[in-house]
């Protein structure tokens, strides 16, 4: 039985996305989730989908995400990676942590621990809403390995001298540039997407972060990239994207 983000029949099997109709990873069978290693960036770091999403969402100099609501996207990305690593399994419409399969990555390990110690099973939709609070502050939690690896810097201040604020300006542009180059090539039709790229694009589309990946190309090619992005995930096994019914929040 597939997992669903809500009770609507048209919602694709649980992947971990944010709104009805966006691309998801189908985790209907635990056998379909072979253990896999996370890809390495040019700096030799192992990047998670949540880290890649955050790098694309952050303003390079300001170190903030502006008005983009990235928490649901990052929470969904953590669930996707846990599923791909074989650390989660579906039980009906809920998710269960697989014991003895704790990930090495510290943020994924924390997310796995939260799910494994939950007093009850919850759906993916529920975890997308709960993980940001359990891993609070989620942006700082996801950014921490990137800061440690020298990709981002951490700058703390107080707004109006009262409210603490943390920004993460970019220190090493290499990993993001490589990521943008790969995704841009996929969107513009220069090559076919790898599974991870399709999953990441499925998470980026509802956050309106796709257009920026092709903003430096001609208008005609940009339009092609926007039209292509909703179809990318459907070309990769176990990914589906019925974007015609997607809802914007």
* Mean pLDDT across the chain: 75
- Provide the percentage of residues in the chain whose pLDDT is more than 90: 51
| Higher-pLDDT residue of 227, 32 | 227
Superfamily of domain 24-245: yeast vps74-n-term truncation variant domain like (1.10.3630.10)
Report the DSSP pairing between strands 163-167 and 155-159. antiparallel
- The pTM assigned to this predicted structure is 0.74
Whether the Cβ atoms of residue 203 and residue 77 lie closer than 8 Å to each other:
yes
Q: What's the confidence (pLDDT) of residue 8?
A: 39
Query: pLDDT tens for residues 178-214?
Result: 999 999 888 888 888 899 999 999 999 888 888 778 7
Phi, psi of 129 (to 5 degrees): -80, -30
Are 21 and 242 in contact by the 8 Å Cβ rule? The answer is yes
Provide CB contacts within 8 A for 104, sequence distance 6+.
none
Radius of gyration of the chain (CA): 17
**What digits encode the pLDDT tens for the residues 80-121?**
999 999 999 999 999 999 988 789 999 999 999 999 999 999
More confident residue, 36 or 136: 136
Residues near 11 by beta carbon (within 8 Å), at least 6 away in sequence: 4, 5, 20, 21
- In the numeric block, the tokens 């995930």 are attached to 233
């Amino acid at each position: 039985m597939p997992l669903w983000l809500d009770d609507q029949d048209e919602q694709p099997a649980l992947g971990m996305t944010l709104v009805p109709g966006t691309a998801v990873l189908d985790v209907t069978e635990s056998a379909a989730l072979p253990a896999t290693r996370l890809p390495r960036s040019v700096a030799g770091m192992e990047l998670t989908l949540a880290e890649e999403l955050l790098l694309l969402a952050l303003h390079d100099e300001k170190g903030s995400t502006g008005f983009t609501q990235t928490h649901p996207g990052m929470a969904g990305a953590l669930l996707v990676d846990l599923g791909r690593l074989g650390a989660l399994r579906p039980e009906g419409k809920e998710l269960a942590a697989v014991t003895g399969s704790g990930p090495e990555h510290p943020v994924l390990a924390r997310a796995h621990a939260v799910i494994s110690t939950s007093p009850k099973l919850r759906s993916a939709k529920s975890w997308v809403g709960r993980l940001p609070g359990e891993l609070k502050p989620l942006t700082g939690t996801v950014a921490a390995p990137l800061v440690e690896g020298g990709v981002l810097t951490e700058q703390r201040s107080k707004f109006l001298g009262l409210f603490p604020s943390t920004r993460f300006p970019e220190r090493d542009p290499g990993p993001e540039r490589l990521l943008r180059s790969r995704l841009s090539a996929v969107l513009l039709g220069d090559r076919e997407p790898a599974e991870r790229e399709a999953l990441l694009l499925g998470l980026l589309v509802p956050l309106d972060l796709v257009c920026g990946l092709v903003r430096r190309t001609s208008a005609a090619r940009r339009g092609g990239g926007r039209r292509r992005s909703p179809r990318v995930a459907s070309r990769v096994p176990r990914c589906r994207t019925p974007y015609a019914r997607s809802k914007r929040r």
